[in-house]
Amino acid sequence: MQRYIALIDMDAFFASIEIRDNPQLRGKPVLIAGSHSQKGVVTTCSYEARKYGCHSGMSVLDARRLCPNGIYISGSHGKYVYASMKIVEICNRFSPVVEPFSVDEMFLDLSGCEKLFGSLEAIGEGIRGAIRDELQLPSSVGIAPNKTLAKLASRLAKPDGLYIIHPQDIENLLKDLPVQQLFGVGPKTTEKLNLLGIFTAGQLAQFPIEVLTRKFGVMGYHLRDLASGKDNSEVVAQREADKPKSISNETTLFEATNNRVFLKKVLLSLVHKVAFRMRKHGAVARTVRLTLRTHGFETHQYHQTLDHKIFFETDLYSEIIRLFDKVHFEPARLRLVGVGVTNLSFDEEPLQLRIFPDFDEKKVRMAEAVDVLKKRFGDSVIRIGDCRSGDYKYRPVDKPPLSFGMKNYIAEEIDSKKKGE
DNA sequence: TCTGGGGTCCTAGGACCC
DNA sequence: TCTGGGGTCCTAGGACCC
The SS3 assignment for A357 reads coil
Whether A149 contacts A229, CB under 8 Å: yes
Distance between CA atoms of residues A75 and A214, nearest Å: 46
The SS3 assignment for A346 reads strand
Catalytic residue among A18, A99, A105, A313: A105
Distance between CA atoms of residues A421 and A407, nearest Å: 20
The SS3 assignment for A175 reads helix
Whether A41 contacts A34, CB under 8 Å: yes
> Virtual CA dihedral for A391, A290, A268, A352, nearest 10 degrees?
-60
Whether A292 contacts A299, CB under 8 Å: yes
Amino acid A75: pLDDT? 83
By CB neighbour count within 10 A (0-12 exposed, 13-18 middle, 19+ buried), where does A87 fall? buried
Distance between CA atoms of residues A14 and A418, nearest Å: 40
Distance between CA atoms of residues A124 and A161, nearest Å: 9
Amino acid A281: pLDDT? 87
Amino acid A265: pLDDT? 93
Question: Measured from the CB, is A286 under 7 Å from any atom of strand C?
Answer: yes
Tell me, yes or no, if A105 is annotated catalytic: yes
Query: Which residue type, as a one-letter code, is found at position A203?
Result: Q
CA A219 to chain centre: 24
Strand B contacts (Cβ < 7 A) comprise A 34-35, 38-41, 43, 56-57, 59, 61-62, 65, 217-219, 244-252, 273, 277, 296-297, 335-336, 338, 340
The neighbour count for residue A30, using CB atoms within 10 Å, is 24
By CB neighbour count within 10 A (0-12 exposed, 13-18 middle, 19+ buried), where does A228 fall? middle
Q: What is the DSSP string of A115-162?
A: HHHSSHHHHHHHHHHHHHHHH---EEEEEESSHHHHHHHHHHH-SS-E
Calculate ∠ Cα A184-A185-A191, nearest 5°: 160
Q: Which residues contact A59 (CB under 8 A, 6 or more apart)?
A: A39, A40, A41, A42
Amino acid A213: pLDDT? 87
Angle separating helix axes A77-92 and A13-21, nearest 10 degrees: 100
- Smallest CA–C1' distance to C9, residue: A305
Nucleotide nearest to A58 (CA to C1'): B3
Question: Measured from the CB, is A304 under 7 Å from any atom of strand C?
Answer: yes
- Smallest CA–C1' distance to B8, residue: A245
Amino acid A185: pLDDT? 94
**pLDDT tens, A137-155?**
999 999 999 999 999 999 9
* Regions of chain A where pLDDT drops below 50: 348, 350-359, 385-421
Amino acid A368: pLDDT? 62
Amino acid A78: pLDDT? 85
Nucleotides of C under 7 A from a protein CB: 9-18
Nucleotides of B under 7 A from a protein CB: 1-12
**pLDDT tens, A27-84?**
999 999 876 556 788 999 999 999 999 999 898 988 999 999 999 998 888 899 899 9
Q: In what order do the strands lie in the sheet with A98-102?
A: A98-102, A105-109, A5-10, A139-144, A162-164
pTM of the model: 0.78
Amino acid A40: pLDDT? 82
- Smallest CA–C1' distance to C18, residue: A102
DSSP A348: S
Nucleotide nearest to A39 (CA to C1'): B4
Determine which helix (DSSP H) or strand (DSSP E) holds A44, and give its type and residue range: strand A42-45
